[in-house]
Chains A and B, each alone.
Chain A
Amino acid sequence: MRARRGGPATLQFEGKPVDVGGTQRSMESGGGSLVNAQSGTLSSASAGQPAGAAVADWSPYAQRDGHPFDALYASLLPEIARLIGLYEQKRSALIPMAHLFQEHEGYVSANAMAAIAYQVGETPATVESTVSFYTLLYRKPVGKYVVQVCRNLSCLLNGAEEIMDYAREQLGIGHLETTADGLISYEEVECLAACDRAPCAQVNLEFVYDLTRERIDAMIAAIKGGTYEIAPLAQTAKPGRTWRVEQDNGRKSAGGMNVESPNNAGGIGDRSGLVMFDLIVGKAQYESRSNERLVHETTLRPELSENGHH
């Protein structure tokens, strides 16, 4: 819905007229935050404004009537105004706002990203691009307890592998997965800066030190029994099996497409890719070794179909 610039004064959405006057005014006054224009609060329908105005405020891209997000957005406006006020440029408040929405929704929803985009004057795509860079910002729902066990060097030297195996076994889930009841999400993370008390973990970003099998048992039992000392996260939607978003592999960079077949057309696969890698390394001796391996390791040979073609 292109209501942003030069659109008609009255828009229709799902057959009903939607008043976007407020939006247009604020957009025209330099795209500034609506929060200031409305002195920190959103009057919404309670002040007798036509329904829809509030919706148009948080997302000119997806106008809907009576969306549950409206109320949350309205209640967070003063905090959003405060966050933006902390910085000399409002885009700096992007990550703090994402933290804020995640605190209330359990993840950074598409609505939240649209709202943030509106507040900082960027597109939702730009906001998602930024949010997707950071591992602590979830774009899909996660469990009420996110257990993050450190897998880095100092923890590894102090038995993190055994702890991780045990935790996976007891939880019945793997790295980046959530239990079927949506209670616990499990992740193996990089150095948490608590190497003096290894192996360590964080549960909902609170540190848990000196992990043992017994402590894992006690932790899981307490979480399941509702008696755990660390408070649960908000959860507004049921989590899926994983919160990993496929296109980015769960990592910051997209390096190394996760293709297992050596017959992958691009030549980038678990094994053939290593042959390619040898070539990239580009020294003659590796090149010959690669060929040698192609001859000797049957698994590296491309399978030929009956008529001799790939």
Chain B
Amino acid sequence: MADVITPVLTKGIGELNLRDIAVYRQQGGYEQLRRAVMEMTPKEVADLCNGSNLRGRGGAGFPTGRKWSFLPNNGRPRYMVCNCDEAEPGTFKDHMLLEETPHQIIEGILIGAYAIGCEHSYIYIRGEFKRGFEIMRDAVQQARDAGFLGENVFGTGKRLEFTIHRGAGAYICGEETGLLNSLEGKRGEPRLKPPFPAIKGLYGEPTVVNNVETLAYLPYILRNGPEWFAKAGPERSPGFKVVSISGHVRKPGNYEVAMGTTIRQLIDDCAGGLRPGREFRGVQPGGGSSACLFEEHLDLPYDFDSIAKAGSMLGSGAMVVFDDTTDWVKAAHSLIRFYAHESCGQCTPCREGGDWIERTLRRILDGRGVDSDIDVIVSAAHQLTGLNLCALGDSIEPFLASVIKRYEADFRAYITRGSAQRVAV
């Protein structure tokens, strides 16, 4: 069982105090940053990243090297922003990485910053991670004292400045342009794209926004070579992935595996399987925005393309497992309420649609639903998709549609029960 788990980023967590820079350095920490800054050109570092086929671990799975290549050569300052605004329902990998291995994140960000020619990088930490913010602040101070970041990195005269920014409670700031607005001290409302951040990002300058986990893999790609990373897992979506498994499993937690491990292995071998006497009913493979998968999908390899082919997405790598005790109407309502609550309100379809679908589900839960409600919410969720500035509105449909398709009877039962009670009264 344990051979499925291959710790890279999670190595040493729970055994070593990796918050201490001395301990991190004993494990080879900051050695790759030193090598990059002192022995390599930015282009060489970027080529290594490209060669590894590393894809973004935040949700969209966009190839990281390609994202970097979009930056224009216009002589303007560039920014590297690390997205640690983790709030996708079911995801808790960045929370752990931030609190347990802050130096690994700093090293990854600085290698990324060096590769794209950025002198001032930022990390955006969600407001709820107050403790993580404090841990990161101490870690940055340690790294600064050691001369790994600041005005004169490793005595080379190169500048790699670093600022930690703490948000204040808004899921939408995980969307990259919303994050940039928030970092600029504005409301975290996503921007109209194009221009994409690579052209006009932070302060109107070319910017790359990468997830914590994505950047944290960079030191290891440099250390072990891009082939090492590219060879783990399928060719088009290689490498390792920290998977957050929660819900109805015996041992919920973060498990790092090679891409392409099957969903069944993740649930049974990593998370200890379902609780005794329970039956599997479904799994959400990639956070709140992904469509639910069922029994027939259990042997799917867990990688970007295979999950996408099955009609869902790998997203942030958060698996929520459902057993036969699940109340699907409540589960759907909980997620829709999340999107209704977190909508920034700029786009009418998302703002109003999410709210009304939430209210309709609440009505069904209260036993006041009518038969047409189910068709209406499915149709509304479908029709508000694709009409919004960002992907938040589009995230309403997948889970809702997939569970209604599979478990429509559960929704109908609420309505029938409700109307029977009304007649009895």
Contacts and interface: CB of A to CB of B under 8 A. Distances in A.
Given A130-B185, A157-B322, A193-B91, A277 B380 contact: yes
Contacts of A77: none
B379 A286 contact: yes
B53 to A, nearest CB: 28
B182 A95 contact: yes
A96 interface: yes
Contact of A196 (B94, B254, B330): B254
Given A92-B184, A252-B345, A286-B375, A153 B90 contact: yes
Interface string B163-203: 10111111110000000001111111100000000000001
A156 B166 contact: no
A158 B380 CA distance: 29
B185 A154 contact: no
A97 to B, nearest CB: 9
A171 to B, nearest CB: 21
Interface in A259-310: 270, 273-274, 277-278, 280-283, 286, 289-290, 293, 297
B168 A157 contact: no
A202 B355 CA distance: 26
Contact of A195 (B244, B334, B380): B244
A92 B165 CA distance: 9
B131 A93 contact: no
Given A96-B165, A134-B127, A255-B351, A194 B185 contact: no
Q: Which of A87, A133, A197, A282 has the most CB of B within 10 A?
A: A133
A91 interface: yes
B55 interface: no
A99 interface: yes
B95 A136 contact: no
Contact of B320 (A136, A157, A190): A157
B246 A134 contact: no
Contact of A157 (B120, B131, B248, B379): B248
Interface residues of B, number: 75
Given A95-B182, A190-B341, A195-B320, A252 B170 contact: yes
A205 B126 CA distance: 11
Contact of B372 (A133, A152, A191, A286): A286
A28 interface: no
Interface residues of A, number: 61
Nearest to A108: B168
Contact of B89 (A153, A270, A277, A290): A153
Contacts of B91: 191, 193, 195
B335 interface: yes
Contacts of A197: 252
Interface in A71-104: 86-89, 91-96, 98-99
B398 to A, nearest CB: 14
A6 interface: no
B221 to A, nearest CB: 26
A98 B168 CA distance: 9
A13 interface: no
B185 A157 contact: no
Contacts of A205: 127-128, 130-131
Given A136-B168, A154-B90, A293-B370, A274 B130 contact: no
Contacts of A151: 334, 337
Contacts of A99: 127, 166, 168
B97 to A, nearest CB: 11
B246 A198 contact: yes
Given A191-B87, A196-B246, A252 B165 contact: no
B303 interface: no
B169 A136 contact: yes
B88 A191 contact: yes
A137 interface: yes
Given A195-B320, A253-B344, A270-B359, A154 B89 contact: yes
A96 B380 CA distance: 39
Interface in B322-336: 322, 326, 330-331, 334-335
B111 interface: no
A1 interface: no
B27 interface: no
B354 interface: yes
B202 to A, nearest CB: 9
B50 to A, nearest CB: 29
B341 A251 contact: yes
A190 B379 contact: no
B65 interface: no
Contacts of A254: 345, 351
A289 B374 CA distance: 12
Given A157-B331, A196-B253, A256 B355 contact: yes
Interface in B191-235: 203
Instruction: Report, nearest first, the 8 A-B pairs whose CB atoms are least far apart.
Output: A253-B345, A94-B185, A136-B169, A134-B168, A195-B246, A135-B169, A91-B185, A256-B355
Given A92-B183, A196-B246, A283-B379, 16 more contacts: A93-B185, A95-B165, A95-B182, A99-B127, A129-B187, A154-B252, A190-B341, A193-B87, A195-B89, A196-B254, A205-B131, A207-B131, A253-B351, A255-B354, A256-B352, A274-B363
Interface of B: 86-92, 94-95, 120, 126-131, 163, 165-172, 182-189, 203, 244-248, 252-254, 284, 288, 318, 320, 322, 326, 330-331, 334-335, 337-338, 340-345, 351-352, 354-356, 359-360, 363, 370, 372, 375-376, 379-380, 383
17 contacts: A88-B120, A91-B184, A130-B186, A136-B168, A154-B246, A154-B247, A157-B248, A190-B342, A191-B88, A191-B288, A193-B86, A193-B87, A205-B128, A206-B131, A255-B345, A274-B356, A278-B376
